[in-house]
Amino acid sequence: MALDLPDFPWDSLLPYRATAGTHPDGIVDLAIGSPIDPVPTIVAEALAAATGSPGYPQTSGSPELRQAIVDWHARRGIEVGIDNTLPAIGSKEFIALLPTLLGLGPGDVVVQPSLAYPTYAVGAAIVGADVLVSDEPDEWPSSTKLVWLNSPGNPDGRVHGLEFLRRAVVRARELGAVIANDECYADLNWEGDEPTPSILDPAVTQGSRRLTLAVHSLSKSSNLAGYRAGFIAGCSDLVGELLEVRKHAGLIPPAPVQHAMTVALGDDAHVAAQKARYAGRRAILAAALTTAGFRIDSSRAGLYLWVTRGEDAWTTVATLADLGILVTPGTFYGEAGRDHVRISLTATDNRVAAAAARLAASSN
């Protein structure tokens, strides 16, 4: 029997992709946040150096990788130990499977934000759990077993402060629920040089990481989407339980990828360089969109601009497709996105410049 899953939303963009593709200068695809810049040389070389790996890798991650995760957190003011860490086969795999790994099922509630990456709901659907859309911890019912936060947020780039994160953690613990913050855009903060607040910040955890997880990805900050390189950190008891299930299921990042992750996590320079690339593209697109009559909301961090001009999202998608620019309707992320579109920064400098020129021409 097939699972009752929603339609894959990006399929509905195909007609607009076709329209955008008819532009004389070709399509500018700003719909999907798939990195297009090169993999950092030191990371690619690390992957190549580790290809002679005939044995099974460790599900827990190599000692070197786990220490790299510990050190990565330490440079951000967060203390974790080896037992608080675990690699994943990209963050999407972990997000989709966490309800399964936790043994959730019908009658259990999974909370997700009102604007949400679709995979949170897919993970709940796989196990038959109920989804509650809520941004307010006081609304979470006693049947809540898993809470998803997403800060910095996809699609809107919202950033939760330490006080909200602390309040959410307190409420989840009152309910005995696991609370996980999807922090895959943590290093792409556009307001200051510091990373965005983490759910593992000492001001949030208040001396205990119980039932608390942070989920990370190297896809965005290190251009490793093709490597499927993610990791989690948090409650050691919970990490240990997840590790045991993952051992049985064979959910193991390949050994060469683990080595590449170790090198990537140890080098902040390439992350800063990539952030600078995105900052340049972001500035160009933001200026062009504002001049063309759009308003940019939130968008404090991450890979996207959350844009509106007060009309139905699909109307905006169609208008921009006529300019050869493909974007994503906010409705993909919930009813709260019905009058916004998400515009990705993951295009080359030349294509971003082309999009800006088309927007400028349309506003004259």
Q: Which two tokens stand for residue 54?
A: 């005939």
Q: What is the mean pLDDT of the chain?
A: 95
pLDDT band of residue 210 (cuts 50, 70, 90) is very high
Residue range 122-151, pLDDT digits in tens: 999 999 999 999 999 999 999 999 999 999
Flag whether 2 is in a domain: no
Flag whether 1 is in a domain: no
Instruction: Indicate whether 196 and 98 sit together in one domain.
Output: yes
Query: At residue 349, does pLDDT exceed 90?
Result: yes
Structural domain for 15, as ranges: 9-38+270-362
Contact 160, 278 (CB under 8 A): no
Residue range 149-159, pLDDT digits in tens: 999 999 999 99
Within 10 A of 174 (CB to CB), how many other CB atoms are there? Answer: 12
Q: Which two tokens stand for residue 166?
A: 């602390």
Domain count, the chain: 2
Q: Is 165 exposed, middle or buried (0-12, 13-18, 19+ CB in 10 A)?
A: buried
Instruction: Indicate whether 107 and 148 sit together in one domain.
Output: yes
Q: What does the alpha-carbon distance between residue 277 and residue 345 come to, in Å, rounded to a whole number? A: 9
Instruction: Indicate whether 52 and 178 sit together in one domain.
Output: yes
Instruction: Indicate whether 253 and 303 sit together in one domain.
Output: no
Residue range 53-97, pLDDT digits in tens: 999 999 999 999 999 999 999 999 999 999 999 999 999 999 999
Residue range 260-306, pLDDT digits in tens: 999 999 999 999 999 999 999 999 999 999 999 999 999 999 999 99
Query: At residue 358, does pLDDT exceed 70?
Result: yes
pLDDT at residue 257, rounded to an integer: 97
Nearest to 132, CA basis, from 146, 111, 156, 103: 111
Residue 8's Cβ-side half-sphere holds a number of Cα atoms within 13 Å equal to 3
